[in-house]
Amino acid sequence: MHNDGWLCSYRSVHYHKNTKNQWARDDPAFLVLLAAFLTVSTALSAVIFKLSFAAFVKLLLWVIFVDCIGVGLVISTLLWAFSNFVLKGEPMAHHVDQSVEFGYAFDIHCNSFFPLFVTLHVVQILLVGVVTKPWFLSVVLANTLWLIALTQYVYITFLGYSALPFLRKTHAFLYPMVPILVVYFLSILLQWNISSTVLQLYGLTGTQDAAATPA
């Protein structure tokens, strides 16, 4: 999604705060929609890698409850605490003290996870027959997809917290870009294919052959 779309989305939280007196969404519709997209993309992976039904279910449960929700809860908790205890400014006179709601922190994770999902769970899987080849250009393509996915996650997270008027120095949320870029250039230099490594960790081996002859 274009950055302007996320900017408009985060601008709408001010209206939501004024009408519902909370920053977070008041329904889980987006998370349910995200789970539906993950189900479809995991089914695509099951076809490409010729997974059994049991393997498909196992992968689906892991992707939804560990990758999306579990990791999201950890990241949201850390950034919620960082925002409230480090970045929150002193309340002005005659103003109500405000804080980052945990629900809003998790909403930001869900927003940030969506473009990452598109890049890694859709584009990468569709290109798996190319990105896992033992070629230098495959390493560049694979690792660039990871760079795009992670930078999108970081930037949209930054937009989410910078939309809150009572937080200061929100540019701190962009700092993870530095280690991400360092790892990216080192991985290219060392010809370490991140996609191949991650797919092997998920038990999706034999990626080249499976992708070359999809079911």
CA–CA separation, 150 and 155 (whole Å): 9
Tens place of pLDDT per residue across the chain (215 aa)? 455 554 545 555 544 444 454 555 667 888 999 999 999 999 999 999 999 999 999 999 999 999 999 999 999 999 999 999 999 866 654 556 688 999 999 999 999 999 999 999 999 999 999 999 999 999 999 999 999 999 999 999 999 999 998 899 999 999 999 999 999 999 999 999 999 999 999 988 654 454 444 43
Question: CB count, 10 Å around CB of 32?
Answer: 9
Contact of 195 with 125, CB cutoff 8 Å: no
- What length is written for the chain? 215
- Count Cα atoms within 13 angstroms, Cβ side, for 174: 6
- Assign 3-class secondary structure to 163-199: CCCCECCHHHHHCCHHHHHHHHHHHHHHCCCHHHHHH
- Count Cα atoms within 13 angstroms, Cβ side, for 213: 2
| Selection from 116, 142, 122 nearest residue 130 by Cα | 142
The whole model's pTM is what?
0.84
Question: CB count, 10 Å around CB of 21?
Answer: 7
